[in-house]
Chain A
Amino acid sequence: MSKYLLNKFLYTVDRDAELVERYRNDPRGTVSWWEAERANVILNIPEMERSTWLTFTEAEREALSAHDYVTLFELGCHNFLLLTLFIALFERDYDEPLAFQREFAARLSHWTVPYPDIAT
């Protein structure tokens, strides 16, 4: 399980306005491109010094490609990154303030503590 890489996807998309839109409109294509081109880039050193070993599992790739935040929560994604990016993706589709956030909570309502471990 590559919780770190899932978080890296959420983190690098969340901080880039163009990537947020790209991931909203074409999740499967964006995940495929990102895994091929960006997953191994270490963020504060030149791109030529990239890592060589980071890949998603099939379950992780599918959860990201399906915008499936319930499964991403269950895979141990960092709760703050997950919420922040998905607010950016979908809050705009709801009429009431906080409606998306409350739906997010309701879809996780089968969970009680302890939640999935977010430690990386």
Chain B
Amino acid sequence: MATIAAVIASTHHPFYYRASTSTGADRPPFADEWVAKIESFRETLTRAEPDILVMVGSDHFHQLWLDNMPQFLIGKAPFYDGNFYNEEREFGLPRMLLRGHEELSSYLLRAGIDAGFDLAFSNELRIDHSITCPLITLRPEADLPIVPIYTNIFAPPLPQPRRFVELGATIRRLVEAWPSDQRVAIIGTGHLSLELGGPRQFGPHGPDPEFDRKAVQWIASADLDGALAEVSLESLWLPGNATHGFMDFMLMMAVAGPSVHADYVDSLDLFHTMEAYFTWYPKGDSQ
């Protein structure tokens, strides 16, 4: 059976690439600390020696649109181009090309549908910064095949938080049951409190530091009961109008396993959002 080499959850700040590559007067004052934290976080994936990356993210109205909006989608393609014109324009993100792992995609689609998730699929998917940003931070070589999984945290009506948790648990179970000798890292990115296109956007901190404090505690201890007791589709509007991305963190907490403490926890209080980084090693600390 396949080995889950690491489970990783983080925020996906699209400005990291530009901040980390800028020099001189263009380099923001927080860049060096941010790069140091990212390099430390990256090491947690590197030492897990993964062969394949399952990448959980959410399209931000790039390829997926309101005329045909899936709730949960798995890519199944030999390659995925990455990033879009408007992400180059706003964030300075580079064009990327990732290899896909069609065998694992096919397996997850078939087994996931059979497990009760009517998953959408895509044979030609261009991935956006929700997946390219963690590749840039965690695996900038972009040399491993990926399986992209998209969730809808963006265009209401959304699935319930509980459904994200159930999908995460299912992904964990299915990857562990995959008849393969490959080492699979499961990586997902979401948001803590976040406001975009609203009155609380781009403040000196995230829009709701108290939510962020609780959220980091929930994630670090994979406290799904605690999170599910307080979080609903309605309540997530309160910390910020883009905070439904926290449901991708809830999905990843379920991948890690309920009440399993993360082996690595870090955060960075950045302008307009709290950045947070978590790694679990399901088989104990990595070699």
Using a CB–CB cutoff of 8 Å, the interface residues on chain A facing chain B are: 4, 7-8, 11, 14-15, 17, 42-44, 73, 78-84, 87-88, 98, 101-102, 104-106, 108-115, 118-120
Contacts and interface: CB of A to CB of B under 8 A. Distances in A.
A111 B198 contact: yes
Contacts of B66: 4, 7-8, 120
Contacts of A4: 66
B178 interface: no
B157 A101 contact: no
A16 to B, nearest CB: 8
Contacts, number: 81
Nearest to B199: A108
A88 B198 contact: no
Given A81-B61, A84-B197, A113-B238, 5 more contacts: A15-B84, A83-B196, A104-B197, A105-B199, A120-B66
Interface string B148-160: 0000001111000
Contacts of B86: 14-15, 84, 88
Given A80-B60, A88-B90, A115 B237 contact: yes
Interface residues of B, number: 30
Secondary structure of the A contact surface, majority rule: helix
B201 A105 contact: yes
B198 A115 contact: yes
B99 interface: no
B196 A17 contact: no
Given A113-B237, A119-B157, A84 B201 contact: no
